[in-house]
Amino acid sequence: MEAIKTSVTMPALALRGLAIFPNMLLHFDVGREASIKALDEAMTTSQPIFLVAQRDLSVEVPEEDDLYTVGTISNVRQILRLPGDNVRVMVEGVSRGRLCGLSQTVPFLLAEVEELPEETPVRRSTRTEALIRQTYELFERYIELAPKMTPDILLSVLASEDPGYIADYIAQNLSLRAGDKQSILEEPRPVRRLEKLFHMLRREVEILELEQDMQNKVREQLTHNQRDYFLREQMKVIQQELGDEGQNGDSEIAEYRQRIERAKLSDQVAEKLNKELSRLEKQPFGSAEATVLRNYLDICLELPWGKRTRDRVDVTAARKVLDADHYGLEKVKERILEFLAVKQLAPELKGQIICLVGPPGVGKTSIAMSMARALHRKMARISLGGVHDEAEIRGHRKTYVGAMPGRMIAAIQQAGSCNPILLLDEIDKLGSDQRGDPASALLEVLDSEQNATFRDHFLELPFDLSDVLFVTTANTTETIPRALLDRMEVIELTSYTDEEKLQIAKRHLLPKQLKRHGLKKSQLKLTDDAIREVISGYTKEAGVRLLERELATLCRKSAMQVVSKSVKSISLSGDNLEEYLGVRRYHPERLPRSEQVGVVNGLAWTSVGGELLEVEANVVPGSGKVELTGNLGDVMKESAHAALTYIRSRTQPLGIEADFYQTKDIHVHFPEGAVPKDGPSAGIAITTAMVSALTGAPVRRELAMTGEVTLRGRVLPIGGLKEKTMAAYRNGIKTVFIPADNEKDLEEIDQTVRAALHFIPVEQVDAVLAQALDLGECSAEEPQEEPLAGESRQPGRLPRFRQ
């Protein structure tokens, strides 16, 4: 063949995923019409053809930008027409060429190609010789590892000493990425080309070695399992021939059989486990079914079938334990001691279900732990907050992958006895989704008539839960389903009074924090006034969690003083507390200095205790509109409208103009407008404020009131009396109006509060108005309009007048 001149025009063929090197033969299939026409043109005119790779394989009609710039000038040796439209062609690479441009793209590619001459080194250095030898060794290793490589390929490499030819030959026969082959093709320097190939070849050899290593491990594992299987089958045959199968058996099967015999199982449970054991005996070792059966037998035999702890039925000893752990909580303690007393007289009494309901931090979880100590029972805690899968309670079928028993059976296994105390924490925060409702699954668990035969999906056996003492905790009963709530005995834990918090801090919290921070009692001394200051000025909660954090802060800062300043003892009182805890966060309400018109002190219940909440009313000339502001809920707005209707029905006795609802606008406002408020128990406070504003009669400043009002002026009972009266006591109130039906609840409030306040039970709003207002001093025709005044209050939790 004659030497090709530079910038020669010749047909071009775009390759997808292929590369051909000079001095190499390659056959491949051609399917595109333009490529077939380029081959025909090259054969017809005896021209060489330029083979160049595409950058993007998905391009069907490539342009000049879609092609690499370096390709191979080749001769077409043979064309074979295949059935269909495909053509198989054999080409021989001649030399590298650079694409200068495409002179045409239709009907085939015609390219301007510049031949790239091969650089010939002057002499071969020792470094090049070492590189060639290393390449020989790597290529020989590659041929050993590659499944489709034949050893005769190595002979062509060993017969040459040209580094450029060696690089081209090996690259042509390696399974490299198209981009890697193109980078070798574009390298004109032979030694540099061989270095590139050497690095690629080493990477390919490492990959093949890793693949072979993984295949060998899998093969060895399969061979090991097959060997064990054959040996076990041979052992069974030998035992059958010797007649020893029934006596000896497999050691694992014999161990399971002994565990079943030793366990205190009922006939039904023992029969079921023996049946599963027989199935395990017939399974090949290592099979998936055998693994499932072993897991099932292990979990069933680890359960405490028939194991019970002996209750301590000594009421006096139990009372000491409960009193040592908790201050107050008399209702809960009394209920536990009653259970013990009945247990002493009737030992066959089954387990009970108790629900402790109260705000956060009042000791619901810790009282359950004290119950376990007092009764000498094991205890397990199950947190139900956020659980939304029914299988969490009943478990999964053992045939599923990753199956496990439900939380009830897991807790019994953890406790190690059949009569523990199970604490179901946060039962009011259960969820539900497409996988079922766990609250519905708890209906059987928390029913003493049904849970004697509780069936877990995993066990498929009845398990007796009737001896379990269930204790559930919740912050509210509103989100607990009615059917589930009906199965539990609800005991409400109200918020602590300030005196109770003081005793809890002195007896429990402060000694605990002193021990935790490494302080002795003599190193940090807190007076009662200091603790009261922490309670009233730095915490606002129903429980004592925040109080404990503040005491921990005092201990930390005291430890710093002891270590850094070598102070031997620190005494804190209410006066120097700000040096350690900073500026007081909460300030008590201040009563107005003079009596005001249209301003009434209401009492609100919140999740962190009671609050004093002012009700303001004002009357201005208008057309009878009633404006209600202060971020009020629907129930509170309805209370305001009911109060207005009652006042309209009593205009003559109250000395109010009969047509006031047509000539005056009434505005009722609750301060702290950003805090949502709702509930009916502000009814008499709203009524009193409206009457005061309409008549101009001032309201006595040292009284507060709570109660729901009806259209006929009846005062209905309310809830949260303990918290509301504590708020009145803290804010200097002297007299409190309460519904007559709530008079019986005064027995439960703090004795200090009861002694300090004067309670007036009322049945009608008229009695409230007669004592709260001085209607004789002002005439109805000339109502006094005084400016509304109210002291700013610290933002607190959401006040809610609770019914």
H/E element, 690: helix 683-695
Q: Please calculate the CA angle 131-136-141 and round it to the nearest 5 degrees.
A: 125
Find where tokens 């007092």 sit: 374
DSSP result, 322-342: HHHH-SS-HHHHHHHHHHHHH
Contact partners, residue 604, CB within 8 Å, separation at least 6: 610, 611, 612, 613, 677, 679, 682, 724, 727, 799, 800, 801
DSSP result, 555-615: HHHHHHHHHHS--S-EEE-SSSTHHHH-S-S-------SS-EESEEEEEEEETTEEEEEEE
Cβ atoms of 386 and 397 within 8 Å: the answer is no
Count CB-CB contacts under 10 A for residue 105: 15
Rounded Cα distance, 131 and 329, in Å? 87
Residue 699: phi, psi to the nearest 5? -100, 135
Three-state secondary structure of 77-93: EEEEECCCCCEEEEEEE
**Residues with catalytic annotation?**
681, 724
C-alpha atoms less than 13 angstroms from C-alpha of 292 in its C-beta half-sphere:
16
- Burial of residue 64 (number of CB atoms within 10 Å: 0-12, 13-18, 19+): middle
- Kindly state the tokens that stand for 108: 């085939």
Rounded Cα distance, 702 and 490, in Å? 37
- Burial of residue 452 (number of CB atoms within 10 Å: 0-12, 13-18, 19+): middle
How is residue 363 annotated by DSSP? S
- Kindly state the tokens that stand for 571: 């005494």
H/E element, 616: strand 609-621
- Kindly state the tokens that stand for 747: 């027995």
Cβ atoms of 398 and 280 within 8 Å: the answer is no
H/E element, 252: helix 251-262
Rounded Cα distance, 664 and 18, in Å? 94
- The β-bridge relationship of strands 8-15 and 70-81 is unpaired
H/E element, 279: helix 267-282
Rounded Cα distance, 651 and 694, in Å? 10
Alpha helices in 346-480 (DSSP H): 364-375, 391-394, 407-415, 438-445
Cβ atoms of 292 and 404 within 8 Å: the answer is no
